[in-house]
Amino acid sequence: MARTLNIVGAGHVGRVLGRLFAAAGAFAVGDVLTRSHAGALDAVGFIGAGRAVSAMDQMRSADVWMLAVGDDQIGAVCAQLALCHPLQGAIVFHCSGAKSSAQLAPATQAGALAASVHPIRSFADPAQVAQHFGGTFCGVEGDAGALAVLTPALQAIGAQPVAIDAQAKTVYHAASVFASNYLVTVLDAALRAYQAAGVPEPVARALAQPLAAESMANVFRLGAPAALSGPIARGDMDTVARQQAALEAWDEPTGALYAALVPPTQALARRKARG
């Protein structure tokens, strides 16, 4: 018989995982609590299982508790959970990419095993994510006993669990920001610089796309050092200095961004030279 799973916080992440766990038989979804009873009812409808409740003290006992709440709410919600329910032998996990399982100290003090499970993808469209979740990497860390239960459950829904160092959780989360958010920022700088040179915005995107796509493909195929090209890789620092001066004259923040990227790119070039 499948272990029971209660869900606290049934936004996009909570409801997608709940639906997948239920469909795979990894867990039997029990009670679902979110900000409003209407929201919990909607989540239960999406999950296709469970019982909507309006308060923590209305929830029944469960083998596993998923806290899919905002990062700033994890500690307080966990403390409330520990006050309302006996947790000896239970598993409590959260879904934050930025916070470690140490945020669940009230649960561990009550005898629970704690962990964190962070699916590395966007959940903007829950139905689409639920349909195409297979292959999603999930950063996991926490008590070995908790991970012994959660890892096969994640594998049952097609996820690929990846163990991470809880002490470096913030650095781990920053890696996703570099790979996603800051990549967009750098590409925006390229598009604006093309436009400053008289290239219309749609044409600028057409110019940048093959450069960006090929560079990313090379990073994932060859590794970052081998993928690096351009003036710094060639040791042409005169060109770098001229570009930086031109950018600072055109748009100071973009010039500062360019300047900030020079030292790490030089370090990458040295790694490339060492082979």
pLDDT tens column, 145-203: 999 999 999 999 999 999 999 999 999 999 989 999 999 999 999 999 999 999 999 99
Tokens of 172: 């781990």
Pairing status of strand 160-163 against strand 137-142: parallel
- For the chain, give me the number of helices (H) and strands (E)? 13, 8
> Which DSSP state fits 10?
-
> Which DSSP state fits 228?
-
Residue pointed to by tokens 């934050």: 96
Tokens of 1: 């018989």
Residue 170's contacts (CB-CB under 8 Å, 6 or more residues apart) are 98
Confidence band, pLDDT 50/70/90 cuts, at residue 129: very high
Pairing status of strand 137-142 against strand 113-119: antiparallel
Cβ–Cβ contacts within 10 Å for residue 24, how many?
15
Confidence band, pLDDT 50/70/90 cuts, at residue 237: very high
Q: Tell me, what's the pLDDT at 275? A: 81
pLDDT at 14 over 90: yes
What is the value of pTM for the model shown?
A: 0.87
Please state, for a pLDDT cut of 90, what percent of the chain lies above it.
98
pLDDT at 261 over 90: yes
- The whole-angstrom separation of Cα 129 and Cα 17 is 10
Residue 42: what residue type?
D
- The whole-angstrom separation of Cα 51 and Cα 56 is 13
Mean of the pLDDT values across residues 244-267? 98
Q: Tell me, what's the pLDDT at 1? A: 86
Taking CA atoms, 139 is separated from 55, 101, 119, 204, in Å, by: 30, 12, 6, 36
What length is written for the chain?
275
Phi, psi of 42 (to 5 degrees): -65, -40
